[in-house]
Amino acid sequence: MLRKIITSCLDDDHATTLTQTIILTITMISHLPVEIILQIFQTIYYSKPKNRPYEQYQTLRSCLLVNRFWCINVTSILWSRVFAPDSLVRLGAISKYISCLNPEKFQLLLDAGMKFSKRTEYNQLFDYPSFLKELQFDIFLKDLSAWCIEYYRCRNLKFQNLVLRTLLELFSERGAKLEVFYMKKVYKCAFPFYHTDLRYLDFSVLTSVSVKGIFVSCKKMRLEGDVLMLSNIIEIFAKIYNNIEHLTLDSLNIGPKILQNEFYNFMDPTSHSFLNDEIDRKKILSTILSKSFSTTQSNALASLITSQRKLKILVLTNQSTMLDSTIRK
C-alpha cells in the first residue's frame, strides 16, 4: 500500500528508495523501548508549532496508520484530554462515550427521553473512556449541556444530571484515572446557562462509590472564577481529592487582603508547631481566606487545601492584579 502511494507521486527508482527508507525508519523506531516511543508521541502531542497549531495532531494521526501498537498508543494519547480547548477529538466525544455504554444503561437514557439512537456495538475497537487522564470540567459541563439539548430537544436539568452520573460512572467502570483537573472561568455573556447549571446540577454524584475512584490519583488541580464562590462544590472537591500536589486557586477575590507572608508562615512546617493539628491548620487557613471570602467560602477552601496530604505547591493568583503567592515545601 505504501509502495503504491509513493509510486503515484515519484518515479520507480525514487519511490523504491523512499519506501525502503520509511520502512527502515519505522522498523528502527518500533524496536525502541515502549516508554521511549510513548514519550515521543507525548512530545509530539504537547508541541505547539507557531502558526501551525494543529500540526501535531496531523502528525499523530499519520502515526495511527503505521501499525496496531502505534495506533493503540496514539489513540490513548489523543483521548487522554478530550475536553481541552484545542482537542480535535472533542467534537462528538459525548456521543462516542454514550455509544460505549452497556445496553442496560443506554436503555435507561432512552427511557428518560433521549433521542440519540446511534449506539454502536458494545465491544468497540478502543476503550475510549479508560484513556481519560485530564479533565477540564467546565468544558465537559458545557459540552454535556449542549449534547443534552440536542438529544433531549430542550433544557432539562433532571436529564442532564442523569447523563452526568452515567458518564462519570462509565469513566470509573472503565478504569479512568485523572491526573489533572481544571475548572476554569466561564464568562456569563458567552455561556449564560452554565452558571445556572453550576448551582442546580447534582454534584454529590462525585462522592458516590461508583464514581469517586477516578479522582484518587489526581495530582494537579486549578480552580478559577465563580466556582470558588460555590462552597457546596468546593466541599465536594475536598472529599474526593486528597492527593493533589499542585493546587492553583485563581479568583478576583484573591487580592492584597490575603497577606503573602502570613500565608507563607502558615504553610511552612518549621514555623508553627500546631501545623500537625488538622483542626488548627483549618482554623488558621480559614481566618486568612476570610479576609477576601465569606465565612462559608473560606471554610470550604480551607478544607480543600488541608485535605491534600501530598500538597507541594499552592498558588494563589488574581489575574487582574497578577498577584501570585506561591508556596513550596
Least confident of 202-206, 215-219, 313-317: 313-317
Please give the distance of CA 235 from its chain centroid, rounded to a whole number.
19
What mean pLDDT is predicted for residues 316-323? 57
Angstrom distances, CA of residue 45 to CA of 35, 137, 142, 250: 15, 21, 24, 27
Q: What is the DSSP letter of 279?
A: H
Contact 129, 100 (CB under 8 A): yes
- Assess whether pLDDT exceeds 90 at residue 133: yes
pLDDT, tens digit (0-9, with 9 covering 90-100), for 57-84: 677 777 777 778 888 888 888 899 899 8
pLDDT of residue 166: 95
Q: Are strands 180-183 and 313-318 parallel, antiparallel or unpaired?
A: unpaired
pLDDT, tens digit (0-9, with 9 covering 90-100), for 237-295: 999 999 999 988 888 777 655 544 455 455 544 333 334 455 566 776 777 677 778 88
Q: In what order do the strands lie in the sheet with 134-136?
A: 134-136, 180-183, 220-224, 246-250, 313-318, 323-328
Average pLDDT, the chain: 76
Q: Taking Cα atoms as reference points, which of 108, 112, 80 lies closest to residue 93? A: 80
CA 114-120-121 angle, to 5 degrees, is: 125
pLDDT, tens digit (0-9, with 9 covering 90-100), for 264-278: 455 544 333 334 455
The full set of domain ranges for the chain reads 80-179+186-217, 219-329
Least confident of 8-12, 97-101, 111-115: 8-12
pTM of the model: 0.79
